[in-house]
């Protein structure tokens, strides 16, 4: 053998790792084998391959048989064991404080987790579409911005703009007066009938633009066929169970076997700005003769979506629309001018923003609000802040008591790093324990939380990389910040000087502590005053005179086939029920959506007023409690009224017309091309038929027997149960085949403020938590501070100070901090809440009482907390406390 | 007792140690396994099996002299013990006896590959 063959040196790092981890007894032979192996590999392969193989085999040795037994003779492990032991003993020694630490952190983590999930859900709307980032809805922004635009616009944009890739038009199935109308679908073969809401018409391109997963059939083909219907999976299950329903027929509102099931797709996720149950094609729609004007450029009556080429600039496209659209829109005069000078414009709304940022006329579903999301987020951060500050403040205050322990450790040979490690370990143990305990807490509270705030969160969604990372980051941050002071500052003293008796007063940090306390108080004050103001506003809304009487109004649905020609009979039958003082048939009820067209006085055709419309019978004013100011309410007795050529306007409509004495004046109501000529017969007082977020707009009322959707009955609050039972009996006599169902109008109106009510519930809970945590933290700090001042207090007592004087002495500083926090928080709160209130047209305003109450509450709570704790020390016999030296 | 059973891979290693007598050590056992059976095994897996077999008393080992190609490290040479021999024989017999008990019929007409 060529004796001194040059040897190849395996990677040094790998050898180091092996010698670190491997059992000493096995190390030599393993190293030898690997070394020998490496020599062979290097002969045969490139250095790189050989290194990789070497690493692979080396890492393969990291198995139990070859690894060093941990803990038996490793210094590091022994030390960490002792740190853990000390941490555990420290926690057990002060169970109450540990419990409070944990509770505070668990609460904060849970709240943050929930709010994170909620925000995540609310911002996930329409994310599931493959092209979500390139799909925009066309909205028309005039003085009353609306979601609907003309049907031909969608495809015209595809034809004329290269950056528009695809477009689709859709429209919900509306009943008269723009109410989404449920349809009665029947499968005649098995006689299964369901009332199905959320039916839509859509262009053939629907499934190209929006992503839906097919279950049966081919949805794209389905939309090219006349009278073919695409069902959502859940709807298909209602009729056909698990079977493949393709080719089955369904009757549509009694029209036998009108529809053929051509495809079934998976239901859209809950986080969608619209969700259809069944869908027909515009191909079908276009075979119906009466739709002519509705499908033209004249009718802003369709939801249009465009999908741009990926990366196309939507803003640039938006800027091109005004110049382009006028070649199609046959507009002149003021409308054209408004479009050209930018007062009115077509906007492209990214679909992912619709849920949180769009709140226009005729939204497909009630959308969320970005502002509230912001409020939730800020509240969660406040709670977290308060909780972190608590933990930090209490840990640092407590650390001073452990100065002796540090001194002893240092004399026994602990160096600075070891003391540092100990404090860090303790902080990490507590925070991570809290994090781990927060998980079951969240799982346990998921259902109550969802119920309480009407939420859709699922805790399992927290197991995503970014959420885990955020919670982990917060935990590590909390631990490190809380351990910084003790591990650096306390650590900096010499063992000798500590044991000789370092003056506690020398220990700094109280300024920082007091500053953090102030931050906590500011956060708590913001939350308390904020929730009080939200509460005031909601109470204001609920008690505001809406211009009609919303209480005790029973609303029954009477739209659709079975009710035609029977409405009058039903009305009479219900009005005869004892306890019901009147019944009225209307197309829309306050709190719902209204359709909009325009009208003008025959004498001044250039003043055209956009106006909502409401079809109503002669009882409407009486039943709803609307005041008639001029003229009279509609009355069937007049031939013109029954013919729908008598109009009643509201005050705002009169103001928009700009003349005073309107009764008797001829008016033209322009339902697009259908110009209805008639006379104004009366004026009603303004009433808030929309939410109080928006001002009252012009309204025109007329009789139209075929357009009624609801029957409204005024019931007496006495004997309500009996009245409902007899109302049902009367209803069943006229309509035996229809189920009797009703709701109360005030409930529906409350729904308009659901988001507000939810925000109120959340902020009340969060402010309760925040004040609890802040007080708890204060309590902890004071009890530590008082302990340090026992001698001082005793000496003061000996020298003749009264309990009151001492109490004042102890309280003074903290009350000062509270006042300072108030001075800081109140302007911030006023600024923020003014901003929030501006989303309402009708505002309760900010009452100074709110801040008075908050201030009083905070000062009282602080004073009481401090006094309660210090009383024990103050009452103690000074001889007792002074003797210990 | 579970500890004295021979696993499939362990048996293979034990046999190879016998084949390579008296020069059996970690790396050449692995090479032999690869050559004879075409199985890819990591060096660590072989060592792990060796140390298990030694714990069970089927193998004994001694350290040989240091060599140059091992960077001056000694290798550990393995030998089969009496217990190891017993375990191998027991396994061999059991397998043969079971194989012989299979009726002709069960294997008739079966082609390998």
The interface predicted TM-score (ipTM) is 0.86
Mind telling me how many Å the CA of A65 is from chain B's nearest CA?
Answer: 6
Instruction: Tell me the nearest-neighbour CA distance from B44 into chain A, angstroms.
Output: 5
Is there a contact between B69 and A7 if contact means CB atoms under 8 Å apart?
yes
Contact A37 B27 (CB under 8 A): yes
* A47 closest CA partner among A86, A9, A5, A92: A9
Give the tokens for residue A85: 């032991």
A67 DSSP 8-state letter? B
Give the count of beta carbons closer than 10 Å to the beta carbon of residue A374. 13
Q: Is pLDDT larger for residue B36 or for residue A1? A: B36
Cβ–Cβ below 8 Å for A5 and B73: no
Tell if the CB–CB gap between B71 and A65 is shorter than 8 Å: no
Q: Does B64 touch chain A (CB under 8 A)?
A: no
Residue B6 lies in a domain: yes
Position B35 in a domain:
yes
Listed in sequence order, the residues at least 6 apart from A786 whose beta carbon sits closer than 8 Å to its beta carbon are A793, A810, A869, A870, A873
Which pLDDT belongs to residue A75?
Answer: 72
Ranges of chain A with pLDDT below 70? 1-5, 69-74, 176-178, 290-292, 502-509, 884-885
**Other C-beta atoms within 10 Å of A76: how many?**
10
Say what the pLDDT of residue A502 is.
62
Distance of CA A730 to the CA centre of its chain: 43
Give the DSSP letter string of B30-76.
HHHHHHHH-----HHHHHHHHHHHHHTTSEEEEEEEE-GGGTT-EEE
Among chain B residues, CA nearest to A6: B69
Cβ–Cβ gap A32/B44 under 8 Å: no
Rounded distance between C-alpha atoms, residue A48 and residue A35, angstroms: 16
In angstroms, what is the C-alpha Rg of chain B? 17
Beta A192-196 vs A228-232: how paired, if at all? unpaired
In a domain, B54, yes or no: yes
- Helical segments of A544-664, H only: 567-575, 620-624, 639-642, 651-657
Our CA-based measurement puts residue A73 at a distance from the nearest CA of chain B, in whole angstroms, of: 22
Shortest CA gap A61–chain B (Å): 5
Phi and psi, residue A332, nearest 5°: -150, 175
Structural tokens at position A189: 């073969």
- Tokens representing A171? 């429209």
- Cα nearest neighbour of B61 on chain A: A29
Residue spans of the domains in chain A: they are: 12-59, 79-128+369-505, 143-312, 509-545+749-885, 553-748
- Among residues A557, A591, A534, which one has the least CA distance to residue A751? A591
* Closest partner CB to B74 (pick from A1, A28, A60): A28
Q: Does B43 touch chain A (CB under 8 A)?
A: yes
Q: Which domain holds residue B30?
A: 2-101
Among A35, A56, A61, whose Cβ lies nearest the Cβ of B47?
A61
**Of all residues in chain A, what percent carry a pLDDT higher than 70?**
97
pLDDT given at position B1: 40
Contact of B76 with chain A, judged by CB distance below 8 Å, is answered with: yes
Domain contains B10: yes
- Of B104 and A223, more confident: A223
Sorted by sequence, the CB contacts under 8 Å of residue A603 that are 6+ apart come out as: A665, A666
0.90 surpassed by pTM: no
Give all strands of the β-sheet with A553-557 in edge-to-edge order.
Answer: A580-586, A710-715, A553-557, A742-744
Question: The domain spanning residue B64 has which CATH number?
Answer: 1.10.10.10
Interface contact flag, A7 B68, Cβ < 8 Å: yes
**Subunit contact A29:B71, Cβ cutoff 8 A:** no
Number of domains in chain B: 1
Q: What is the CA radius of gyration of chain A?
A: 37
Nearest by CB to residue B47, choosing from A3, A5, A66, is: A66
- CA triple A289-A295-A301, angle to 5 deg: 125
Is B41 touching A (CB cutoff 8 A)?
no
Pairing relationship of beta strands A228-232 and A255-265 according to DSSP bridges: parallel
Question: Per residue in A634-650, pLDDT tens?
Answer: 888 888 888 888 999 99
Instruction: Give the number of other CB atoms < 10 A from CB of residue A121.
Output: 17
- pLDDT on residue A339: 86
The answer to whether residue B107 is domain-embedded is: no
CB of B54 within 8 Å of a chain A CB? The answer is no
CA distances A483 to A85, A86, A786, Å, are 17, 15, 23
Bridge partners of residue A669, in order along the sequence: A599, A676
Q: Is B22 contained in some domain?
A: yes
Is residue B79 less than 8 Å (CB to CB) from chain A?
no
End-to-end Cα, chain B, rounded Å? 37
CB contact under 8 Å between A30 and B69, yes or no, is: no
pLDDT of residue A280: 92
Return the beta strands (E) in A270-389 as ranges: 278-281, 303-308, 345-350
What is the distance between the alpha carbons of residues B82 and B58, in angstroms, rounded to a whole number? 7
């Amino acid at each position: 053998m060529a004796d001194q063959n040059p040897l190849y040196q395996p990677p040094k790092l790998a050898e180091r790792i092996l010698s670190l981890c491997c059992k000493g007894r096995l190390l030599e032979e393993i190293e030898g084998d690997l070394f020998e192996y490496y020599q062979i590999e290097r002969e045969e392969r490139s250095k790189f391959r050989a290194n990789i193989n070497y690493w692979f085999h080396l890492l393969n040795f990291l198995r139990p048989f070859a690894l060093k037994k941990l803990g038996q003779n490793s210094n590091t492990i022994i030390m960490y064991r002792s740190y853990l032991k000390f941490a555990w003993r420290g926690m057990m020694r002060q169970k109450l404080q540990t419990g409070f630490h944990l509770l505070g952190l668990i609460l904060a983590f849970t709240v943050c987790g929930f709010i994170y999930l909620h925000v995540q859900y609310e911002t996930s709307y329409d994310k599931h579409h493959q092209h979500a980032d390139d799909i925009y809805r066309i909205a028309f922004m005039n003085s009353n911005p609306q979601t609907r635009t003309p049907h031909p616009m969608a495809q015209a944009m595809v034809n004329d703009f290269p950056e528009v890739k695809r477009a689709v038009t859709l429209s919900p199935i509306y009943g008269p007066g723009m109410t989404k109308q449920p349809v009665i679908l029947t499968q005649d073969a098995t006689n299964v009938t369901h009332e199905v809401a959320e039916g839509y018409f859509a262009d053939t391109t629907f499934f190209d633009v929006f992503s839906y997963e097919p279950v049966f059939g081919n949805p794209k083909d389905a939309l090219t066929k006349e009278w073919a219907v695409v069902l959502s999976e859940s709807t298909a299950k209602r009729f056909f169970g698990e079977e493949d329903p393709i080719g089955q027929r369904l009757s549509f509102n009694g029209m036998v076997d009108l529809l053929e099931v051509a495809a079934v797709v998976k239901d859209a996720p809950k986080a969608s700005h619209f969700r259809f149950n069944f869908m027909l094609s515009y191909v079908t729609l276009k075979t119906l003769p009466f739709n002519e004007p509705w499908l033209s450029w004249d009718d802003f009556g369709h939801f249009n979506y465009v999908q741009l080429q990926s990366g196309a600039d939507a803003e640039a496209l938006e800027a091109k629309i005004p110049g382009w659209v006028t070649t199609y829109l046959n507009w002149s005069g003021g409308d054209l001018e408004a479009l050209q000078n930018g007062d009115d414009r077509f906007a492209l709304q990214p679909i992912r923003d619709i849920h949180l940022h769009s709140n226009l006329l005729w939204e497909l579903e009630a959308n969320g609000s970005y502002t509230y999301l912001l409020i939730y987020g800020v509240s969660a951060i406040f709670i977290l802040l308060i909780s972190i500050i608590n933990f930090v403040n209490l840990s640092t205050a407590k650390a001073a008591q452990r100065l002796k322990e540090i001194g002893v450790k240092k004399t026994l040979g602990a160096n600075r790093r070891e003391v540092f490690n100990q404090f860090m370990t303790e902080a990490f143990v507590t925070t991570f324990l809290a994090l781990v305990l927060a998980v079951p807490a969240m799982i346990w509270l998921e259902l109550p939380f969802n119920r309480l705030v009407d939420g859709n969160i699922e805790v399992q969604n927290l197991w995503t990389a970014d959420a885990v990372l955020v919670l982990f980051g917060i935990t590590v941050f909390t631990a490190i910040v809380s351990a910084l002071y003790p591990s650096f500052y306390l650590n900096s003293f010499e063992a000798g000087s500590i044991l000789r008796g370092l003056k506690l007063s020398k220990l700094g940090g109280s300024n920082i502590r007091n500053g953090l306390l102030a931050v906590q108080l500011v956060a708590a004050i913001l939350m308390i005053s904020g929730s009080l103001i939200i509460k005031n506003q909601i109470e204001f809304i609920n008690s505001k005179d809406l211009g009609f009487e919303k209480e005790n109004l029973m609303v029954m649905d009477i739209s659709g086939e079975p009710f035609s020609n029977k409405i009058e009979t039903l009305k009479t039958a219900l009005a005869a029920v004892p306890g019901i003082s009147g019944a009225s048939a209307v197309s829309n009820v306050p709190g719902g959506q209204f359709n909009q067209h325009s009208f003008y006085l025959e004498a001044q055709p250039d003043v055209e007023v956009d106006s909502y419309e409401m079809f109503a019978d002669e009882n409407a004013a009486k039943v709803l409690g609307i005041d008639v100011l001029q003229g009279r309410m509609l009355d069937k007795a007049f031939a013109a009224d029954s013919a729908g050529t008598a109009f009643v306007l509201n005050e705002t409509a009169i103001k928009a017309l700009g003349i005073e004495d309107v009764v008797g004046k001829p008016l033209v109501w322009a339902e697009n091309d259908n110009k209805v000529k008639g006379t104004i017969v009366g004026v009603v007082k303004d009433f808030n038929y929309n939410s109080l977020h928006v001002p009252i707009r012009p309204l025109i009322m007329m009789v139209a027997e075929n357009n009624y959707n609801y029957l409204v009955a005024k019931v007496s609050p006495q004997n309500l149960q009996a009245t409902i039972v007899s109302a049902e009996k009367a209803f069943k006599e006229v309509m035996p085949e229809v189920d009797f169902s009703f709701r109360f109008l005030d409930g529906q109106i409350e729904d308009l403020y659901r988001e507000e009510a939810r925000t109120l519930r959340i902020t009340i809970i969060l402010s309760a938590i925040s004040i609890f945590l802040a007080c708890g933290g204060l309590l902890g700090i004071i009890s530590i501070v008082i302990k340090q001042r026992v001698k001082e207090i005793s000496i003061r007592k000996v020298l003749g100070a009264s309990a009151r004087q001492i109490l004042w002495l102890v309280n003074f500083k903290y009350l000062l901090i509270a006042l300072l926090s108030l001075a800081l928080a109140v302007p911030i709160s006023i600024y923020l809440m003014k901003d929030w209130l501006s989303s309402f047209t009708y505002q309760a305003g900010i009452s100074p009482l709110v801040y008075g109450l908050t201030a009083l509450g905070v000062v009282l709570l602080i004073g009481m907390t401090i006094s309660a704790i210090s009383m024990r020390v103050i009452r103690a016999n000074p001889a007792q406390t002074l003797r210990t030296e | 007792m579970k500890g004295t059973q021979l696993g499939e891979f362990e048996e293979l290693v034990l046999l190879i140690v016998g084949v390579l007598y008296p020069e059996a050590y970690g790396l050449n056992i692995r090479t032999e396994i690869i050559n004879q059976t075409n199985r890819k095994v990591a060096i660590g897996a072989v060592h792990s099996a060796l140390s298990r077999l030694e714990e069970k008393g089927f193998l004994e080992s001694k350290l040989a002299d240091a060599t140059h190609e091992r960077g001056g490290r000694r290798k550990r040479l393995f030998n089969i013990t009496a217990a190891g021999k017993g375990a191998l024989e027991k396994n061999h017999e059991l397998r043969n006896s079971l194989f012989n008990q299979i009726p002709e019929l069960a294997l008739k007409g079966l082609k390998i590959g």
